Amino acid sequence: MFVWSKNDLNPEQAAAIAEEHSVFLVACPGSGKTRTLTYKIADQLSKLESDKEWVIAITYTHRAADEIHERVAGLGVDTSRLWIGTIHSFCLDWILKPYAIYHDALKSGFKVINSHDSERMLTELCRPFRYPNISYWDCGHYYTSAGRVLASRQKNKLPSVTQALDKYHASLVKNRQVDFELILRYAHELVASNPSISMLLGSIFSYILVDEFQDTKEIQYAIIAAILRAGKDKVRTFIVGDPNQAIYDSLGGYAITANEIRKLAGIELKELELSENYRSSSRIVSYFDNYKVFSSEIVAVGKNRDYPSLISFNSTIERDDLIEELVRLIKYNVETIGVLPQEVCIVAPWWMHLASMTRKLVAALPTYSFDGPGLVPFGRDLDNFWYKLSRIVLTEASPQMYMRRLRWAGEILSALQDAGIDTSNLSKKSLLRECNSVSILEEDGLKFLARFFDALFTRLGIDFRAVPVLVEHHAAFFESSKERIDKLAKEGAEFIGDVGSFRKVFENRFGITVSTIHGVKGAEYDSVIAYALLEGMVPHFADPNGEDSAKKLLYVVSSRARKNLHLISERGRIDGKGDEYQPTDVLRDYNFTYDTIP
C-alpha cells in the first residue's frame, strides 16, 4: 500500500485521497491540486489487484502529463499500469485505433492530420470567399455530442465559414484523414453506437482521473461518462478543477457541475474542496477573490501569506509609452525588490500583442533573457512525429531529464509501430542511447535537425523515407518551421533560426516569461505584469457572457502572482470602428486601494 508522511498533505488533501467514492474536487489556485492528484494516482496504483487493471489520468496538456507522471514515479510506485495523457491521446489509444473497424470513416484506415496541413487546407478553402472575407482564424470549431459548433462570434461570417468547413470535412473523409476535433467526434460516435466498447473499457479501468474539469468539453464528458456508466461501481472517478478559471468557453470548455456528472454517468459523487492557497500573499488572494464567479473559500496559508504585496493599476499610460513602462516595472521588481528574472511574467490577452513586444523588450533590456512567442522557432505540433522526436534531440541527456526523455522515447516507439515499422529490437533505453550517440556540428537549427534525423535513422537501420506517414510529417514539420522562421526573421528576430534558439523551446524557464492569459494558466510567478486589459479584449468584444468572462480572465491573471501584481489598461489602442478601447469595466469599477510604484 502507498503511504505518505503526515506532513505531506493537509487535511483537505488527505480527505480527498482517502475518499473511497468518486470525487468532484473544486481546488482554488495554489491549493496543491497537482500534488493531490499525484498522490491520488499513486494511492490507486498501489491498490490495483490485477495486472489487467489500469489507472487512467486525463490532463489538459502533454506538459502536465509529463510532470504528473514524473511525480508519481518519484513516489516509488509502479507506473506500468498508469496511462496518462490528453483526452485526444486517450481517444486515439483506447478507442479509435483498437475499434476503427466499427466506424465507416475509419475502418479502411486513417491518419491524423497535423495542424500545419489543416491550416493550409482551410486557408485555401477560405480564399474564394469575399464580402465578408474569411480566414483560417474564422474557422475555429468544436463538437458536442449534438454536433458541430462554430467558435466565431461574427454572425455575418458564419454562412461562409460553414461552407468552408463543410468542404474541409468532405476532403478529410475522402482522404481518410482525422484532425484534432474529429478525434473526439469519432470517439464519441464509437462509444455511443457500440456499448460493448464502454463495457470493455469499464471492466479494465479501475480509476479515471480528470484534471482541469473547467476546461473539458461537453463531448469529452460524454465519452468518459459512457465508460463510467458501463463500469457501474467498478470504475470510479476523481474530477478536479476550478470553475472560476473556466476561460476556454470559446473553444468548447465547459465547467460542468457535480450534479450534471452524477446524472450523466449515473454514479455516486462526493463533493470536496481545497481552499488553502499556498502560493500567494493574503493581499493578492484578497484581490483576486473579488473576481470569483462561483462561490468558494480561499485562504492564504503559505510562506508568502504575510508578504507586503504591491498591487498597481495604471489606466493613464499611453500606448506609445507602454514599452518604457514595462521596462520600468521589470527593473523595479528585479533590481529594487530583488525578484529573480525567471520569476517575472508579462501577460497580454492576444498573441498578436506579444510577439513584437517580446522583441522590443529584448532590444530595450539586452542584459535580460526572455521566453516568449516571438522567440519560438517552430510551432508546438504535438501530433507531428518529428516534433515529438525533436524533444529528445534538443534536450540534454541529464539525470533531471531522464524520466521525461524515457517517456518521450516510448511515444516514439509507439508511433513507429503505428506506422508499421518493426521495433522489436528497440527499447526506450536503447533508443535514448542511440539519440545520445549522434553528434552533429551545425549551427542552423533546421539543418541540424535534418542531419540528426538522417543520422539517427541510419543507426537504427530504418528507411523512414519509405514510410508515407513519416514522409508527410517530415515535410510538414520542416515546411511550417521554415515559414515561421522566415516570418520572425523579417520581423527582427535575427537569431531565431540557430540551434541555440531551438534548444530553448524545451528548456525550463530561463528568463522573463511573456505569455497570453490563456498560455500562463497553471503557472505561477513572484511578479505578474499584465497589459491590454481593455473592454473588447478582456473580455472579447463578441463574448455574450462579457462580465463573467472578464472576471474569470482577471481571476486567472491575478492568481498567478505570488507577491506583486501590476495591471495596465493603456490608452490609445483603436478598435476596428475607430474608437479607443477603454479599460475593462469590472477592473475599472473595482474599488481597491492600489499602490503607486516609484
> Which residue is associated with the grid cell 468518486?
22
C-alpha cell at 447: 539543418
- The pLDDT of residue 163 is 96
The confidence band for 493, taking pLDDT boundaries of 50, 70 and 90, is: low
Among candidate residues 90, 47, 58, 12, the one with its CA nearest the CA of residue 239 = 58
pLDDT of 446 > 80? The answer is yes
* pLDDT attached to residue 540: 85
Residue 480 confidence (pLDDT) above 90: no
Sign of the dihedral through C-alpha 90, 94, 95, 98:
positive
Q: Is the pLDDT assigned to residue 352 strictly greater than 80?
A: no
Cα(52)–Cα(161) distance, integer angstroms: 46
User: Which pLDDT value is given to residue 355?
Assistant: 76
Average pLDDT over the chain, rounded to an integer: 92
- Higher-scoring residue by pLDDT: 38, 541: 38
Cβ proximity of 547 and 585 under 8 Å: yes
Give the lowest-confidence range in 406-415, 433-442, 507-516: 507-516
Question: What's the confidence (pLDDT) of residue 334?
Answer: 97
C-alpha cell at 62: 502533454
Cell 490495483 found at: 48
pTM: 0.88
Q: What is the structure's pLDDT at 375?
A: 64
How would you write 333-402 as a 3-class SS string? HHHHHCCCHHHEEEEECCHHHHHHHHHHHHHHCCCCCEECHHHCCCCCCCCCHHHHHHHHHCCCCCHHHH
Angle at 107 between CA 102 and CA 113, to 5 degrees: 120
Where are the domain boundaries for CATH 3.40.50.300 in the chain?
6-96+193-274, 282-376+506-588
Cα(531)–Cα(537) distance, rounded to whole angstroms?
Answer: 11
Question: Residue 11 — very low, low, confident or very high, per pLDDT cuts 50/70/90?
Answer: very high
User: What is the torsion angle, in degrees rounded to the nearest 10, for the CA atoms of residue 345, residue 346, residue 347 and residue 351?
Assistant: -120
Indicate the CATH number for domain 282-376+506-588: 3.40.50.300
The owner of cell 484534432 is 180
Give the model confidence (pLDDT) of 368-388 as tens digits: 988 876 667 776 676 789 999
Query: 527 forms bridges with which residues in the sheet?
Result: 344, 564
Half-sphere exposure (Cβ direction) of 367: Cα atoms closer than 13 Å: 5
Q: pLDDT-derived band of residue 138, with 50, 70 and 90 as boundaries?
A: very high
Contact of 553 with 528, CB cutoff 8 Å: no
Distance CA 316, CA 595 (A): 15
C-alpha cell at 88: 485526444
Count of residues in the chain: 598
Grouping H, G, I as helix, E, B as strand and the rest as coil, residue 43 is helix
Convert 68-80 to b/e letters by CB count within 10 Å (16 or more is b).
bbbbbbebebebe
Please, are residues 116 and 379 in contact by the beta-carbon 8 Å criterion?
A: yes
Q: What's the CA gap between 239 and 241, in Å, rounded?
A: 7
For the record, the C-alpha cell of 418 comes out as 503505428
User: What DSSP element (H or E) covers 264?
Assistant: helix 258-265
pLDDT of residue 313: 98
pLDDT in tens, 466-478: 999 899 889 989 9
pLDDT for position 108: 94
Mean pLDDT calculated for residue range 456-468: 96
Cell of 356: 513584437
Task: Express each pLDDT in 92-132 by its tens digit.
Answer: 999 999 999 999 999 999 988 877 788 889 999 999 998 89
The domain 6-96+193-274 is classified under which CATH number: 3.40.50.1980, 3.90.480.20, 3.40.50.300, 3.90.180.10?
3.40.50.300
Query: Does residue 288 carry a pLDDT above 70?
Result: yes
Residue 166, Cβ neighbours under 10 Å: how many?
12
Partnered with residue 240 across adjacent β-strands are 25, 211
d(CA 140, CA 149): 9
